[in-house]
Structure 1
Amino acid sequence: MAREIHDIFVIGGGINGCGIARDAAGRGYSVALAEMNDLASGTSSGATKLIHGGLRYLEHYEFRLVRESLMERETLWAMAPHIIWPLRFVLPYHKGGIRPAWLIRLGLFLYDHLGGRKLLPPTAVLDMRTDAAGKPLKPLFTKAFEYSDGWVDDARMVVLNARDAADRGALILPRTRVVSARRENGLWTIDTVQSGTDRTETYRARMLVNAAGPWVDRVIREALGNDDAHHVRLVQGSHIVVKKKFEGSRAYFFQNRDNRIIFAIPYETDFTLIGTTDRDYKDDPKEVRISEEETIYLCDAASEYFREPVRPEDIVWTYSAVRPLYDDGASKAQEATRDYVLKLVGTQDAPLLNVFGGKLTTYRRLSEHALEKIGEAIGAKGRSWTAKSHLPGGDFAVQGYEAEVVALTTRYPFLEEAHARRLVRRYGTYATMVLDSATKMEDLGRHFGGSLYEAEVRYLIAREWARSAEDVLWRRTKEGLRLSEEEKKSLEEYMVAMPARMAG
């Protein structure tokens, strides 16, 4: 039996799909969204996790993309100061490097002045012989440039967009694969199957949005039956996480001899994140894994800069994802455009919007542009509203993180500070929903390891669609870095035993 007729049916539970669903629901559209796996289980949890203008994109003359990205940094930071925060990036320089100093200065001047910077501090020049930033690096770097960008918990940004969309009336359907979509009587008829089961459901909608990321062409070919779908270029990006390589809160931007760049970023308090690679990918995106070649490349590239080399045996975790870049014919993976392209197919009788490319920083603007096209196709509802909004838990001052930690530890004095800091970073003001009426640690229930307790797991099941230990440990939290294999197995057994009625 077909259900109610939705205005919009979105395929894809990554940042673009969830961002579009949230914006549309907030304008009064009836929205449904289907994601074949867990939310943010593809590209949107496998990024370098930066909210950035894209300094290196200036070399490819992508000025519109860079300007839009720069203007979005502080907008997104204000929307979600719990999961987004500013970082200072140190770009070491030495004579004979790939890029001359004048070119770097010019790029950073444009970066400072193209748009939007109010709270983020401007570019500076560092003497690496006296500045603490030079201590972890080899002594051949006597000078560095320092600039501002931002950091984001990428998977949480996706889930919080989905949560807010649901709170505004959207139907969010994780683990629901679209097997076919066809035009019937001026509407889309969408057949779905729930992952891991034979349970099928049919939905109807006035408009279809294909935001399936790396699978966008596959949706066009398989679900929509159009064999002529070759719009995206799949590029693999891999990252390694090692024990903390340096003190302090600053990150590093390293230029490699092959003209590529990598970042070394403080990660989850006790670790350093190093990435990313850029190479074309031809296989199934769900099978992507870091290769031995990429592992060696990242270790060698970082070791060119750090006094203490990075070795494969130092790695505590790796992750890889496939970026669905719009295929502009660029000769090298790292030169392919990071800009997004929206293609509207038909403006009457069940229109289709295909979403190609995009990145974390521009997802909100991409969503606004998508809503403009949706309005053209099925009629506009409401005005743009997300620029001044807050994601769930982000309703506090943009520079108010420390005050929120104090407030949480005052209300729940039994919390250790590190635990409180992590909860505020994950949930912001919603941390009190996680802890509820607890007055002592025992009230949080079973301890799974690290700072993960039953109360938090139950919250993630009830409110954030978590269904497996992987969902909890690697997307909703990053406690997988701290739990033993035995503890992870114990959590998985608990998740399997949880009743389906706790669905969020």
Structure 2
Amino acid sequence: MSDIPKRFDCDVLVVGGGINGAGIARDASGRGLRVLLCEQDDLASHTSSASSKLIHGGLRYLEQYQFGLVRKALAEREILLRSAPHITRPLRFVMPYAPAERTRGQRPAWMLRAGLFLYDHLARRDFLPGSSALDLGADPAGAALQPHFTRAFAYSDAWVDDARLVVLAALDARERGATVLTRTRCAGARREDGRWSARLAGPGGERLVHARCLVNAAGPWAARFLGESSALPPERRHGGLRLVKGSHIVLPRLFEHARAYILQQPDGRIVFALPFEGAFTLVGTTDVEFVGELGRNRLAIDPAETAYLIDAVNRCFARRVGPDDVVWSYAGVRPLIGDDGAADASSASGASRDYRLATDSVGAPLLSVFGGKVTTFRKLAEDAVDWIASKLGRPVAGWTAQACLPGGDVYGKAPSARAVLEFDAWLKTRQHQYAWLPPGLLARWAHAYGTRLGAMLAHCRAPADLGEEIVPGLFEVEADYLVRQEWALEAEDILWRRSKLGLHLAPGAALRLDAWLAARRAGQRRGSVAAS
């Protein structure tokens, strides 16, 4: 926090560095508002890095008659693919179908066809293929499944690196003038003289921030923030959140192709099995009501959740797995709006994935974000900033639908379908440009950084210029870039959020990286002392 004064004035203070907070900071900065975003931990360190990594309309939400949500999410799916083709990709899903007597909880074939027809046509679809039927006896997707699955339906959605999406939104916000502070908690906020007066506590001590508008984007902590930090009386606190825990497991690769599976379960739920990090399969998610104290430590999957996901795999795939096959797991708490009236709203899986923006204009404006999903973050941010801008006398139109995220401008500054459909061709040109780099390393960097790859490698002409290989696959040039440009401070930030290198490394790698980061900080301090 040393880069901002003890007293700081801004138009908008955003509390929360998940996808919604980062998206709002980005949109507001692009409309000329002076923005400060604070996050108590690392960016995307909680819910926003614990998703299923999907950009999707939500096929199952059609059963709950949430047509508006599905339509909105499907439209956003194509916008996000175009704007960030490096960290997203189209993904084809296979839904196996068996005779009814062999599979409990399966929807009738007519219902699946009708649902997929709606899914294909609820929103404009420019380049993703529509749904189709598959003969699993002839299609390679059938080889990994149990033999009683003879037919399937296929449809299109997309995948996203969720944690990097948050970082890129925050990076875009900073490049448009926002101040982004990680490891910085909003310790309290109150209305005072027509504006918000907030205390921020972080590594550099406490700072006082005056803001014309306060945005509560604290995710699962949103309701608590209103009660503990914003000094609002109870009658003006907007709650209604349901905290739902979702967990995932990562297994050794269950299938060789690049498609994903959507598996119907006897309880009516669905489970995804996604290709992940080349050598693995990601399986999830659970939906369990979260009960207990919401702390800042990382949540863990429960044995019952692991068993549920293992059973889902063994019910459908030919290869049997057990708990000992799980190479990694993660869990997050999703803040869902609970009073939507949707079908089956009493269950965790039936709670709406839509969002609600609760506003309070009695004094300085306050906007609180409840609910939402990764897919709709851009639209949520646009709606939020429309309200904020009008309240602050800055009625500037939204802009993010026509803008690339950092690194996404692979075929020009404007988002384009070409960037999605021809990303591999762009990568091939990078392989010619950086022929001295190992192809696997270059491919990872191209997907992580897109056109920002050139900035990271600006002074590199040969392998020796990459610096020390701190841990396998991570060179000094990348680690230094992530510290300087992307707020990385600890090994976990780099190995599990800015990348997924942690999956591929032996125990002890994080300790070596933390030692390197500590030495880098010590060298910077010595340099600062010498300069003074």
- Give the match's secondary structure for 2:316: coil
Residues 397-449 of structure 1: per-residue CA shift (max 9 Å, x gap): 22232123222222211111111111111001111222222122221111133
- Give the match's secondary structure for 2:177: coil
Q: Is the Cα contact below 8 Å between 2:134 and 2:151 reproduced in 1? A: yes
Matches within 5 A, 1:422-441: 422-441=444-463
Q: 1:206 aligns with which of 185, 206, 212?
A: 212
Whole-angstrom CA distance in 2 between matches of 1:226 and 1:168: 31
Q: Is the Cα contact below 8 Å between 2:471 and 2:513 reproduced in 1? A: no
Matches within 5 A, 1:344-355: 344-346=359-361, 349-355=363-369
Amino acid at match of 2:466: L
Aligned to 2:43: 39
1:321 equivalenced with 2:332 (yes/no)? yes
Matches within 5 A, 1:471-482: 471-482=493-504
The runs of at least 4 consecutive aligned structure 1 residues that moved more than 4 Å come to none
Whole-angstrom CA distance in 2 between matches of 1:398 and 1:307: 33
1:376 equivalenced with 2:387 (yes/no)? no
Aligned to 2:400: 386
Amino acid at match of 1:106: A
- Give the match's secondary structure for 2:420: coil
- Give the match's secondary structure for 2:201: strand
CA-CA distance at 1:376 after TM superposition: 3.0
Q: Is the Cα contact below 8 Å between 2:82 and 2:404 reproduced in 1? A: yes
Whole-angstrom CA distance in 2 between matches of 1:233 and 1:226: 21
Q: 1:253 aligns with which of 237, 262, 267?
A: 262
- Give the match's secondary structure for 2:319: coil
Of stretches 411-420 and 108-117 in structure 1, the one that deviates more from structure 2 is 411-420
Of stretches 158-167 and 224-233 in structure 1, the one that deviates more from structure 2 is 224-233
TM-score (norm 1): 0.96
Identical amino acids, percent of aligned pairs = 49
Matches within 5 A, 1:160-175: 160-175=168-183
Whole-angstrom CA distance in 1 between matches of 2:176 and 2:373: 24
Whole-angstrom CA distance in 2 between matches of 1:377 and 1:15: 23
Aligned to 1:30: 34
CA-CA distance at 1:2 after TM superposition: 5.6
- Residues 2, 377 of structure 1: CA spacing in aligned structure 2 closer, same or farther, 3 A cutoff? farther
Aligned to 1:188: 196
Whole-angstrom CA distance in 2 between matches of 1:31 and 1:125: 49
Aligned to 1:179: 187
1:449 equivalenced with 2:471 (yes/no)? yes
TM-score (norm 2): 0.91
Q: For the aligned residues, what is the CA RMSD? A: 1.5
Amino acid at match of 2:132: A
- Give the match's secondary structure for 1:499: helix
Whole-angstrom CA distance in 2 between matches of 1:400 and 1:441: 28
Paired residues in the alignment total: 499
1:337 equivalenced with 2:352 (yes/no)? yes
Structure 1: any 5+ residue segments left out of the alignment? none
Q: Is the Cα contact below 8 Å between 2:25 and 2:178 reproduced in 1? A: yes
Whole-angstrom CA distance in 2 between matches of 1:493 and 1:83: 29
Residues 336-393 of structure 1: per-residue CA shift (max 9 Å, x gap): 01000001111x6311001000001000000111012112322234211111100010
Amino acid at match of 2:211: A
1:114 equivalenced with 2:129 (yes/no)? no
Whole-angstrom CA distance in 2 between matches of 1:271 and 1:388: 34
Whole-angstrom CA distance in 2 between matches of 1:74 and 1:497: 43
Aligned to 2:150: 142
Aligned to 1:295: 306
Q: Is the Cα contact below 8 Å between 2:386 and 2:395 reproduced in 1? A: no
Aligned to 1:286: 296
Whole-angstrom CA distance in 2 between matches of 1:451 and 1:349: 52
1:222 equivalenced with 2:228 (yes/no)? yes
Residues 305-329 of structure 1: per-residue CA shift (max 9 Å, x gap): 0000121111111111000001217
Whole-angstrom CA distance in 1 between matches of 2:134 and 2:24: 41
Amino acid at match of 2:217: A
- Give the match's secondary structure for 1:398: helix
- Residues 242, 450 of structure 1: CA spacing in aligned structure 2 closer, same or farther, 3 A cutoff? farther
Amino acid at match of 1:213: G
1:67 equivalenced with 2:76 (yes/no)? no
Q: Is the Cα contact below 8 Å between 1:2 and 1:204 reproduced in 2? A: no
